């Protein structure tokens, strides 16, 4: 009798304890998890919030947050390449959805197929079909998307524009007029940073000059880079560059954003990680502390990119990496990460009440705008083309020769299998 009473008390106590446990029981995974990305310093908080969720679910895993500083992965990508080719992959790494993933790492047969993980977690329905297509081939699905970023955004501080008596330009022609006024007041019209941000600006200018159909045609090989349209892009880009700061190459993208925030420059064209930086790091209120519009002549067009993480073949801690991917793809992970990052969720069931005014407006635009892919952030071309394009850009920044840049772009498009 005594014995069975003790047993009963034990069961009651055990049930009570279970009730006190969090809904998601901690896993018994252990060992390391090395996550590789370029989200260091100011770019770190959103990633750290994801890692916090991971650590709660997997308290015995030692997370190594391996970051290599440098916007858009300028330094991280070459470190990753060395590691992958040397047979020393991290457990999971940041890679852009689209050709950067497919035309680089999947083509080289370095990634694991994640289809079973997508199916087991209901992600075939949770993510838009178009996005799954972008991270997939007929042989599998190769990464887990964490966000949707917008590339073609122009940022400004409303109070500064008011002080200078100008308005945010809707077209490049309007910009050139406004820019003269700003120059006369000693204000840099458009803040620019190191060379990858020139690529970034270029794609917004190209979208403006070409329109969405011809932009797409560049990447399908239907429009030549050295066509009359292609040359026009470089001509317009050269004209825009005249209104940028002369110390651009020595600045990080955050420093160019600071120029706008501090009132040394009026505008910059940058992806909406700048919204994350201004809201999260600079504590500015979206809509009043900083504001935005589509980059000139691209209203109604949403140039997108998506950060994602994959599982390289030979990942040293595969099970820990799979658990990481599950956090990334989850609704909780996504709606924790993106409001901090400045991006919107890649999931269809995201809770928009968790996002600030910028995030909500980006989500609304994503729902109604014409969507095109970003070159500077991996959607439209693989790393081979991107590296070659960086050299073309360097040449143009020195020579400002539109014809030569258009011709060189066509040559690298042929070399990298883009041009027909
Ligand atoms: C992009 C990346 C963004 C952001 C940005 C600046 O390539 O997709 O998430 O990190 O670079 O570094």
Q: What is the CATH number of the domain that holds 65?
A: 3.40.190.10
Mutation to probe ligand 1, out of 269, 271, 390 (largest number of atoms < 8 A from CB): 271
* Ligand 1 atom closest to Cα of residue 341: 9
**Burial class of residue 41 in the structure, from the number of CB atoms within 10 Å of its CB (0-12 exposed, 13-18 middle, 19+ buried):** exposed
Question: Is 340 part of a structural domain of the chain?
Answer: yes
pLDDT of residue 6: 53
Q: Which residues line ligand 1 (CB under 6 A)?
A: 38-39, 43, 71-73, 149, 253, 271, 273, 305, 307, 377
Q: What does the H/E/C string look like for the chain?
A: CHHHHHHHHHHHHHHHHHHHCCCCCCCCCCEEEEEEECCCHHHCHHHHHHHHHHHHHCCCEEEEEEECCCHHHCCHHHHHHHHHHCCCCCCEEEEECCHHHHHHHHCCCCECCCHHHHHHCCHHHHCCHHHHHHCEECCEECCEECCEEECCEEEECHHHHHHHCCCCCCCHHHHHHHHHHHHHCCCEEECCCCHHHHHHHHHHHHHHHHCHHHHHHHHHCCCCCCCHHHHHHHHHHHHHHCCECCCHHHCCHHHHHHHHHCCCEEEEECCCHHHHHHHHHCCCCECCCEEEEECCCCCCEEEEECEEEECECCCCCHHHHHHHHHHHHCHHHHHHHHHHHCCECCCCCCCHHHCCHHHHHHHHHHHHCEEEECCCCCCCCCHHHHHHHHHHHHHHHHHCCHHHHHHHHHHHHHHCCCCC
* Ligand 1 atom closest to Cα of residue 343: 9
Tokens of 320: 């820990």
Q: Tell the residue nearest (CA) to atom 11 of ligand 1.
A: 72
Residues sharing a CB contact under 8 Å with residue 199, sequence separation 6 or more, in sequence order: 375, 376, 389, 390, 393
Query: Is-contact 146 310, C-beta < 8 A?
Result: no
295 and 183 belong to one structural domain: yes
Looking at the DSSP bridge assignments, the partners of residue 291 are: 156
Q: Tell the residue nearest (CA) to atom 12 of ligand 1.
A: 71
Nearest-CA neighbor of 323 among 58, 145, 48, 95?
58
* Ligand 1 atom closest to Cα of residue 273: 4
CA distance 265 to 189: 6
pLDDT, tens digit, for every residue of 17-72? Answer: 444 444 467 999 999 999 999 999 999 999 999 999 999 999 999 999 999 999 99
Question: Is 420 part of a structural domain of the chain?
Answer: no
pLDDT, tens digit, for every residue of 279-333? Answer: 999 999 999 999 999 999 999 999 999 999 999 999 999 999 999 999 999 999 9
128 and 207 belong to one structural domain: no
170 band by pLDDT with thresholds 50, 70 and 90: very high
Q: Which has more confidence, 21 or 268?
A: 268
Question: Is 8 part of a structural domain of the chain?
Answer: no
pLDDT higher than threshold 60 for residue 87: yes
Mutation to probe ligand 1, out of 72, 196, 341, 390 (largest number of atoms < 8 A from CB): 72
Q: Tell the residue nearest (CA) to atom 5 of ligand 1.
A: 72
pLDDT of residue 25: 77
Mean pLDDT, residues 90-97? 98
pLDDT higher than threshold 90 for residue 384: yes
Split into its structural domains, the chain has a count of 2
- Please report, in angstroms and rounded to a whole number, the separation of the first and last CA atoms in the chain: 86
100 and 222 belong to one structural domain: no
pLDDT of residue 420: 86
From the CA of 288, how far away is ligand 1's center (Å)?
A: 24
Return the exposure string of 107-143: e unless at least 16 CB atoms fall within 10 Å of the residue's CB, then b. eeebbbbbbebbeeeebeebbbeebbebbbeeeebbb
260 and 345 belong to one structural domain: no
From the CA of 51, how far away is ligand 1's center (Å)?
A: 18
Mean pLDDT, residues 120-132? 98
Question: Is 118 part of a structural domain of the chain?
Answer: yes
pLDDT higher than threshold 50 for residue 12: no
Question: Is 130 part of a structural domain of the chain?
Answer: yes
> What pTM does this model have?
0.94
Question: Is 1 part of a structural domain of the chain?
Answer: no
Mutation to probe ligand 1, out of 37, 46, 71 (largest number of atoms < 8 A from CB): 71
pLDDT of residue 3: 53
138 and 44 belong to one structural domain: yes
pLDDT of residue 94: 98
Question: Is 9 part of a structural domain of the chain?
Answer: no
* Ligand 1 atom closest to Cα of residue 70: 12
From the CA of 401, how far away is ligand 1's center (Å)?
A: 29
84 and 200 belong to one structural domain: no
Q: Tell the residue nearest (CA) to atom 1 of ligand 1.
A: 72
Percent of the chain exceeding pLDDT 90 equals 94
Q: Tell the residue nearest (CA) to atom 7 of ligand 1.
A: 72
193 band by pLDDT with thresholds 50, 70 and 90: very high
Return the exposure string of 265-288: e unless at least 16 CB atoms fall within 10 Å of the residue's CB, then b. bbbbbbbbbbbbbbbbebebebee
Specify the range with the lowest mean pLDDT, choosing from 6-20, 77-91, 243-257. 6-20
* Ligand 1 atom closest to Cα of residue 307: 8
290 and 386 belong to one structural domain: yes
180 and 218 belong to one structural domain: yes
270 and 391 belong to one structural domain: yes
126 and 81 belong to one structural domain: yes
Domain range enclosing 280: 150-304+374-415
Query: Is-contact 318 117, C-beta < 8 A?
Result: no
pLDDT higher than threshold 70 for residue 4: no
Mean pLDDT, residues 72-76? 97
211 and 263 belong to one structural domain: yes
* Ligand 1 atom closest to Cα of residue 96: 8
CA distance 359 to 314: 37
Query: Is-contact 142 325, C-beta < 8 A?
Result: no
Antiparallel, parallel or unpaired: β 92-96 and 31-37: parallel
Mean pLDDT, residues 166-188? 98
Mean pLDDT, residues 82-109? 97
111 and 138 belong to one structural domain: yes
pLDDT, tens digit, for every residue of 199-244? Answer: 999 999 999 999 999 999 999 999 999 999 999 999 999 999 999 9
């Amino acid at each position: 009798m005594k014995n069975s009473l003790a047993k009963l008390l034990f069961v009651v106590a055990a049930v009570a304890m279970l009730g006190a446990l969090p809904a998601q029981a901690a896993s018994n995974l252990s060992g390391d998890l090395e996550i590789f990305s370029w989200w260091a310093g100011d770019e770190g908080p959103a990633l750290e919030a994801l890692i916090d969720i991971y650590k709660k679910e997997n308290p015995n895993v030692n997370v190594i947050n391996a970051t290599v500083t440098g916007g858009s992965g300028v330094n991280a990508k070459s470190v990753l390449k060395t590691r992958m080719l040397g047979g020393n992959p991290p457990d999971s790494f940041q890679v852009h959805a689209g050709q950067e993933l497919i035309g680089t790492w999947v083509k080289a047969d370095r990634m694991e197929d994640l289809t079973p993980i997508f199916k087991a977690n209901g992600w075939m329905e949770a993510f838009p079909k178009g996005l799954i297509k972008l991270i997939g081939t007929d042989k599998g699905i190769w990464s887990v998307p964490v966000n949707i970023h917008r590339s073609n955004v122009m940022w400004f501080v409303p109070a500064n524009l008011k002080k200078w008596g100008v308005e945010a330009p809707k077209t490049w022609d309007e910009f050139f007029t406004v820019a003269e006024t700003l120059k006369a007041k000693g204000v840099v019209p458009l803040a620019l940073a190191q060379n990858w941000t020139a690529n970034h600006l270029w794609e917004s200018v190209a979208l403006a000059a070409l329109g969405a159909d011809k932009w797409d045609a560049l990447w399908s090989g239907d429009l030549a880079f050295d066509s009359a349209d292609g040359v026009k892009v470089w001509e317009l880009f050269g004209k825009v560059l005249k209104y940028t700061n002369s110390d651009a190459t020595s600045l990080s993208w955050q420093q160019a954003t600071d120029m706008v925030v501090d009132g040394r420059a009026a505008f910059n064209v940058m992806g909406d990680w700048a919204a994350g930086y201004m809201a999260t790091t600079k504590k500015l209120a979206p809509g009043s502390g900083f504001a935005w519009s589509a980059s000139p002549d691209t209203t109604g067009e949403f140039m997108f990119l998506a950060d994602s993480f994959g599982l390289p073949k030979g990942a040293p801690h595969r099970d820990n990496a799979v658990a990481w991917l599950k956090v990334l793809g989850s609704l909780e992970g996504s709606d924790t990460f993106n409001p901090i990052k400045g991006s919107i969720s890649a999931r269809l069931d995201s809770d928009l009440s968790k996002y600030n005014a910028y995030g909500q407006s980006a989500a609304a635009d994503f729902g109604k705008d014409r969507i095109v892919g970003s070159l500077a952030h991996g959607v439209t071309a693989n790393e081979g083309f991107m590296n070659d394009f960086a050299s073309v850009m360097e040449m143009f920044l020195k020579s400002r020769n539109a014809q030569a840049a258009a011709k060189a772009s066509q040559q690298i498009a042929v070399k990298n299998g883009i041009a027909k």
